[in-house]
Amino acid sequence: MAVYHVFLREDEDKRVMFAASAVVCNLVNDFSPLKTVLLNQGVIERLCELLHSDDNGFKLNSLWAFKNLLYKSPLEVKRRVMDGLGWHNLARMLMDADVGIQEQAFHVVRHLAEPEEGIDMVFQEMGEQVLLGSLSIALESEHEDVVRQAVYVLGNLSNSVPHQEGILMHPRILPSLRHCLIDAKVEVRRPAASCILELVRANPQHRELHEAGIDTTLRHICDHNFSGSPTARLSLGFQMGAEEDREVKEKCREALHWMERSAGEVL
Q: Does residue 42 lie in a domain region?
A: yes
- Whether the CB-CB separation of 138 and 105 falls below 8 Å is answered with no
The residues, any chain, with a CB within 8 Å of residue 44's CB and separated by 6 or more, are 69, 80, 81, 84
> Tell me: the pLDDT tens digits for 3-41?
988 999 988 899 999 999 999 999 999 989 999 999 999
Nearest Cα to Cα of residue 106 among 167, 153, 176 = 153
Q: Tell me the per-residue pLDDT of 191-219, one tens digit each, with 9 for 90 and over.
A: 999 999 999 999 998 999 999 999 999 99
What pLDDT is stored for residue 230 in this prediction? 41
Side-chain-side CA neighbours of 116 within 13 Å: the count stands at 4
- Rounded to the nearest angstrom, the gap between the alpha carbon of residue 15 and the centroid of all alpha carbons in its chain is 31
Could you count the other beta carbons within 10 Å of the beta carbon of residue 77? Answer: 16
Of the residues 26, 50, 73, the one at which a domain ends: 73
Residue pair 26/32 in contact by the 8 Å Cβ criterion? yes
Total structural domains in the chain? 2
Q: Is residue 93 part of a domain?
A: no
At residue 264, the pLDDT reads: 57
Cβ-based neighbour number of residue 218 at 10 Å: 28
Phi, then psi, of 127 in degrees rounded to 5: 90, 135
pTM for the predicted model, two decimal places: 0.90
Amino acid 58: pLDDT? 96
What's the confidence (pLDDT) of residue 11? 86
Asked whether residue 266 carries a pLDDT value surpassing 80, the answer given is no
8 Å CB contact between 60 and 104: yes
pLDDT of amino acid 223: 79
Tell me what percent of the chain is helix, strand and coil, each rounded to the nearest 5: 75, 0, 25
Which domain CATH number covers 26?
Answer: 1.25.10
| Distance spanning both ends of the chain, measured CA to CA | 66
Domain presence at residue 78: no
At 142-185, the pLDDT tens digits run: 999 999 999 999 999 999 999 999 999 999 999 999 999 988 89
Which residues make Cβ contacts (< 8 Å) with residue 264, sequence separation at least 6? none
- Residue closest to 26 by CA, chosen among 65, 57, 84: 65
Distances in whole angstroms, Cα of residue 90 to Cα of each of 10, 18, 93: 23, 21, 5
Domain range holding 192? 171-267
The pLDDT of residue 261 is 86
221, part of any domain: yes
Which of these three, 73, 88, 115, is where a domain ends? 73
